[in-house]
Amino acid sequence: MTMGVAAQQLCKRGGHEGCPDSEDMDSIVETMMQQLLSKEILHEPMKDIVEKYPKWLEDNKNKISKEEYERYNNQLELMVKLIEVYENDPENMTKIFDIMQNMQECGQPPSDLVQDTVPDLDLSKLGQL
């Protein structure tokens, strides 16, 4: 069930008149996603993290499990791809969204890295959209 369909069903159950239909709700959600994942919002924070991530991996390689190291390394590669898309094809929201979904599968980046780099960025919320 899409977010738009769920919202539509909620409106019907609540007896609310004038609720947006499924297509309108999907359009609203899509617009919100485009704004949240836009280059203006994420490009610089991602660049900051990518710049410091290799050193963090090197410094922490012996402190984390092999699985965590591989997951974090994969996450770094996805962040690099995301930056490339932001710099070369920033309007390609499908590609941006796909990369973000793959990043979500890697879990959260190391909290100390994110907090040291961009303390106000909360990547955990992006995966829930």
**CB-CB contact of 76 with 104 (8 Å):** no
**What contacts 127, CB < 8 A, 6 or more positions away?**
100, 101, 103, 104
What domains are defined for the chain? 1-36 (no CATH), 38-128 (1.20.120.900)
Does 23 have pLDDT greater than 90? no
What is the tens place of the pLDDT at every residue in 29-69?
A: 666 666 666 677 788 888 999 999 999 999 999 999 999 99
Q: How confident is the model at residue 2 (pLDDT cuts 50, 70, 90)?
A: very low
**CB-CB contact of 123 with 114 (8 Å):** yes
Q: How confident is the model at residue 3 (pLDDT cuts 50, 70, 90)?
A: very low
* pLDDT at residue number 67: 96
Of 29-33, 38-42, 94-98, 103-107, the least confident: 29-33
pTM of the model: 0.68
